[in-house]
Amino acid sequence: MGFLDDAKKFLDEHDDQVDQAIEKAGDLIDDKTDGTFADKVDKVQDIAEEKTGAGDTAR
């Protein structure tokens, strides 16, 4: 098993935690930019959550 396989396995096993981290990061960006890019940040969050584990579990 390579590094990427290990990373994928970790993401799959800890999907809830990964999605929460993605949400927190997006919220931080929204706070720092006063929501200027909120729509774009939300899109990126959704895509990232779909690509990790079983999908969006944070909303």
Residue 59 lies in a domain: no
Q: Residues with Cβ < 8 Å from 30, sequence gap 6 or more?
A: 37, 38, 41
> Considering the domain boundaries, does residue 17 fall inside one?
yes
Q: Is residue 47 in some structural domain?
A: yes
pLDDT of residue 11: 82
Give the number of domains in the chain. 1
Q: Is residue 18 part of a domain?
A: yes
Instruction: Grade residue 7 by pLDDT with cuts at 50, 70 and 90.
Output: confident
Is residue 58 included in any domain, yes or no?
Answer: no
How do residues 14-56 score in pLDDT, each as one tens digit?
889 999 999 999 999 999 999 999 999 999 999 998 888 665 5
Q: Note whether residue 38 is domain-resident.
A: yes
Q: What is the DSSP string of 8-39?
A: HHHHHHTHHHHHHHHHHHHHHHHHHTTTTTHH
Question: Is 56 part of a structural domain of the chain?
Answer: no
Residue 24 is part of which domain span?
Answer: 3-51
